[in-house]
Amino acid sequence: MKLNGAQVVLRTLKDLDVDTLFGYPGGAVIPLYDALYEVRDDFTHIRTSHEQGASHAADGYARVTGKVGVCIATSGPGATNTVTGIANAYMDSIPMLVITGQVPTNLLGRDSFQEIDITGVTNPITKHNYLVKDIQDLEDTIKKAFHIAKSGRPGPVLVDIPKDIFLTDIDYKEIDNKEFVEFVDNKLKNEDSFDDELIETIADKINKSKRPAIYAGGGVIISGNSDKLLELSEKNDIPVTNSLMGLGSISRKNKLSLGLVGMHGSREANLTVHNSDLLLAIGARFSDRVIGKPDDFAKEAQIIHIDRDESEVSKNIAVDNYAVGDMSIILEKIIKRVNEKKREEWLDEVEGFKVKKEKNLEEFSPQNILKQSSDVLGEEAIVATDVGQHQMWAAQNWDFLYPNTFVTSGGLGTMGFGLGAAIGTQVGKPDKRTVLVTGDGSFRMNCNELATVRKWDLPIIILLFNNSSLGMVRQWQKLFQEEKYSETDITDEVDYVKLADAYGIDGYRVCNMKDFKKTLDIVSKTREPVLIECELNKDACVYPIVPPGKSIDKLVIE
């Protein structure tokens, strides 16, 4: 069968069970879109307003489906517009395949129109990348890229395809890349660093520990090990704290779940880690946002690290034991060897770490808005966020019940991630309801994607926290820069309700709890996209906060 390169790309994606693409056309990918036109019934292609939106959508889609998110962009500016999205996926270990068009091979290296060396640009932010110069390599390269993206510790892989390669015909014969898959899988197995003796040592330490704590990260969710985390923690009665990426790995309604640890972690999570005598880090990377002052982090504790990626071991914090490999095997072996326990004394102490304070549930506060939304939308919600105070309030106050229900930019902290990501999560899980928690600053960055939301009738509920400020930066200026509010007040009179209206989306503006509840009640009964702008006080701060450079037990409560 004769196919051209563009047809080979689509045929290969189909072989890989890809049915959803996020992308944006342009000169170098005209042949690809031409081929897509012919097979448009085989794919859902979401054309966003901007390639950054497409890249975040592919990322969000990957996070909630566990599949590889696929994003297409043209050469030059199309490709560079995906760079933030690629970096974001890289920092959070999200499997993504980015296909970029490139100038024809005979124009490479000549500063041709819309030529950017995108493999060069993305070298430090991809797990791997390729420039395909020979049509014979095309299918094989895409299959390799796809496998690399999702194997081991996932991440984004970019394949750059010159326009003439899309247009070259070949005799197509489906390639079986079993050999490569075996090669990668064997390579991963060779990185395994655990044996029965080590497992015995770890289980023994857990059994002997008086004050154990778990610090579970995104790796638990990505590797599909939330059930094993629960089994281990419940069998040995170990309280569980989470990194931002780890939220959802254990239900926040479980009594062993203490929520977020680190800079904006709860008092109980931070003090539990700080006072533990054994800390079990699972699929987590000891980010600076978690550990505070490295020298004082879990000082009394033996630290054990279980992860897929050996390069994370003792990178930020020196550990006493580590097991690298398939986390489900490692956890299963540990679970078998730990004793069933009840740790009343330790858990009483942990309970005592909680801040006991009367709460005024009628106050129109970010906390109450989120708690209310979490209660009403709970089971069916997937929460996507932008970056800033609203993100931390969402992390602290939403009761995440299941893995893959909190989609947030952890490592890169990308303002503008939210709306694109929300599109991806709503497309990936159409029966769920995506709630986007965003801030006025972040929302402005990529609100152009409202057009995409409307076009596809995505029933996203946008909770816009309008505090007329770049709140998180303003908070740092308030706490650490003597209240010099340099360029963080953004009272520019943007009418967000009218903005939504311009895109054909209903908007509501609310400024008290009663109206908020009423509005939420109305919108939760529809399946329409909606924006709810919550007018908030710019002086509200995210607490607790561990001041920069301080140990996590030195958190400031308010």
Ligand X SMILES: Cc1ncc(C[n+]2csc(CCOP(=O)(O)OP(=O)(O)O)c2C)c(N)n1
Q: Which residues bind to ligand X, rule: CB under 6 A?
A: 386-390, 413-416, 439-442, 465, 467, 469-473
d(CA 312, CA 294): 15
Residue of 143, 144, 150, 163 marked catalytic: 163
Is the CB of 83 or the CB of 313 nearer to ligand X? 83
Residue of 22, 51, 396, 516 marked catalytic: 51
Alpha-carbon torsion, ordered 374, 380, 382, 388, to 10 deg: -10
From residue 384, how far is each of 65, 196, 522, 552 by CA, in Å?
A: 14, 40, 21, 26
Neighbours of 110 (CB within 10 A): 9
Please report how close the Cβ of residue 373 comes to ligand X at its closest, in angstroms: 15
Residue 233 interface partner, choices Mg ion, ligand X, none, CB cut-off 5-8 Å depending on type:
none
Residue 100 interface partner, choices Mg ion, ligand X, none, CB cut-off 5-8 Å depending on type:
none
d(CA 356, CA 329): 40
Residue 425 interface partner, choices Mg ion, ligand X, none, CB cut-off 5-8 Å depending on type:
none
Is the CB of 241 or the CB of 391 nearer to ligand X? 391
Please report how close the Cβ of residue 531 comes to Mg ion at its closest, in angstroms: 15
Residue 241 interface partner, choices Mg ion, ligand X, none, CB cut-off 5-8 Å depending on type:
none
Please report how close the Cβ of residue 444 comes to Mg ion at its closest, in angstroms: 10
Residue of 114, 332, 550, 554 marked catalytic: 114
Active site residue 449: no
Collapse the DSSP code of 539 into the 3-class scheme (helix H, G, I; strand E, B; otherwise coil) and give the result: coil
Of the candidates 195, 205, 213, which has an alpha carbon nearest to the alpha carbon of residue 282?
213
Residue 385 interface partner, choices ligand X, Mg ion, none, CB cut-off 5-8 Å depending on type:
none
Is the CB of 26 or the CB of 411 nearer to ligand X? 411
Is the CB of 164 or the CB of 386 nearer to ligand X? 386
d(CA 277, CA 260): 19
Q: Are 335 and 247 in contact (CB under 8 A)?
A: no
Q: Which of 471, 507, 529, 544 binds Mg ion (CB under 5 A)?
A: 471
Is the CB of 169 or the CB of 288 nearer to ligand X? 288
Active site residue 163: yes
Chain positions 11 to 70 lying near Mg ion, rule: CB under 5 A, are: none
Of the candidates 508, 407, 494, 500, which has an alpha carbon nearest to the alpha carbon of residue 454?
500
Active site residue 183: no
Binding mask 425-454 vs Mg ion (x if CB under 5 A, - otherwise)?
Answer: --------------xxx-------------
d(CA 427, CA 46): 9
Please report how close the Cβ of residue 438 comes to ligand X at its closest, in angstroms: 7
Neighbours of 548 (CB within 10 A): 12
- Which position has the token pair 């078998």? 336
Please report how close the Cβ of residue 554 comes to Mg ion at its closest, in angstroms: 27
Query: Does the footprint of Mg ion cover residue 102 (CB under 5 A)?
Result: no
What angle do the packed helices 5-15 and 30-38 form, to 10 degrees?
60
Residue 387 interface partner, choices ligand X, Mg ion, none, CB cut-off 5-8 Å depending on type:
ligand X
- Walk across the sheet containing 381-385 and list its strands: 406-407, 381-385, 433-439, 461-466, 530-535, 506-510
Query: Does the footprint of Mg ion cover residue 366 (CB under 5 A)?
Result: no
Is the CB of 217 or the CB of 388 nearer to Mg ion? 388
Is the CB of 88 or the CB of 257 nearer to ligand X? 88
Please report how close the Cβ of residue 418 comes to ligand X at its closest, in angstroms: 9
Active site residue 113: yes
Neighbours of 130 (CB within 10 A): 20
Residue of 14, 113, 182, 345 marked catalytic: 113
d(CA 140, CA 352): 58
Please report how close the Cβ of residue 192 comes to Mg ion at its closest, in angstroms: 45
Query: What's the one-letter identity of residue 184?
Result: V
Is the CB of 388 or the CB of 507 nearer to ligand X? 388
Of the candidates 105, 82, 98, which has an alpha carbon nearest to the alpha carbon of residue 166?
105
Ramachandran region, residue 292 (left: φ > 0; alpha: ψ -120 to 50; beta: rest): left
Residue 317 interface partner, choices Mg ion, ligand X, none, CB cut-off 5-8 Å depending on type:
none
Residue 473 interface partner, choices Mg ion, ligand X, none, CB cut-off 5-8 Å depending on type:
ligand X
Across 279-291, b (16+ Cβ under 10 Å) vs e yields: bbbbbbbbbebbb
Q: Which residues are catalytic?
A: 51, 113-114, 163, 472
- Residues binding Mg ion (CB under 5 A): 439-441, 467, 471
